[in-house]
Chains A and B, each alone.
Chain A
Amino acid sequence: DAGITQSPRHKVTETGTPVTLRCHQTENHRYMYWYRQDPGHGLRLIHYSYGVKDTDKGEVSDGYSVSRSKTEDFLLTLESATSSQTSVYFCASGGGMGGSADTQYFGPGTRLTVL
């Protein structure tokens, strides 16, 4: 499996506080993704990146921002956390080089609780 890590793995925070989750990959993958997973909703794409400083919105991007200043790091920021953002967050990365198909490799997840 690709070397992809997430930090922190668990976090409890209070409503209104800023939160940043970090995703780090060592495979030089072009694409990186942030998903959230809630009971009854499966995996939903928040934001993704197709290169350094190149990002785009997914289906549930409101309340989230991302940054990618290096190939290996993709940060997800909740500017002012709300209880509705309590979820498990998964990061993924994938190749997307040239004409190849884009397989995603997922991290272990971050469990975020907003009180």
Chain B
Amino acid sequence: DAKTTQPPSMDCAEGRAANLPCNHSTISGNEYVYWYRQIHSQGPQYIIHGLKNNETNEMASLIITEDRKSSTLILPHATLRDTAVYYCIVKPTNAGKSTFGDGTTLTVKP
């Protein structure tokens, strides 16, 4: 699986958009980009995934660059409850193994 690089921490003001970057420069053509988050001591929660097109759901938007070497998770209106560790991973379809890195700790401040 391709490795990912994320900043260790970020802050965001409540109500503003949170933009979380992820670098995956060695991504292969069959690998999807997934985002999960983990709120303190809970199990990780799936947010969104994509292959090459931008994706949006009720939680977030995922912007993938044209060369697919990086992506950005956007939380459009961050709330205090969005404070969590956010993980970006890449994996092929139907592959069992996933490698979670250290993620980005997002702190939303009032």
Contact = CB atoms under 8 A, between A and B. Distances in A.
Interface string A42-82: 11110011100000101100000000000000000000000
Contact of B97 (A45, A100, A103, A108): A45
Nearest to A100: B93
Q: Is the interface of B mostly helix, strand, loop or mixed?
A: loop
A57 B42 CA distance: 24
A49 B41 CA distance: 24
Q: Is the interface of A mostly helix, strand, loop or mixed?
A: strand
Interface residues of A, number: 29
B93 A106 contact: no
B100 to A, nearest CB: 4
A64 B58 CA distance: 38
A39 to B, nearest CB: 11
A51 to B, nearest CB: 10
A99 B42 contact: no
10 contacts: A33-B98, A42-B101, A42-B102, A43-B87, A45-B97, A92-B44, A96-B96, A99-B93, A102-B95, A104-B44
Interface of B: 32, 34, 36, 41-46, 49, 51, 87, 91, 93-103
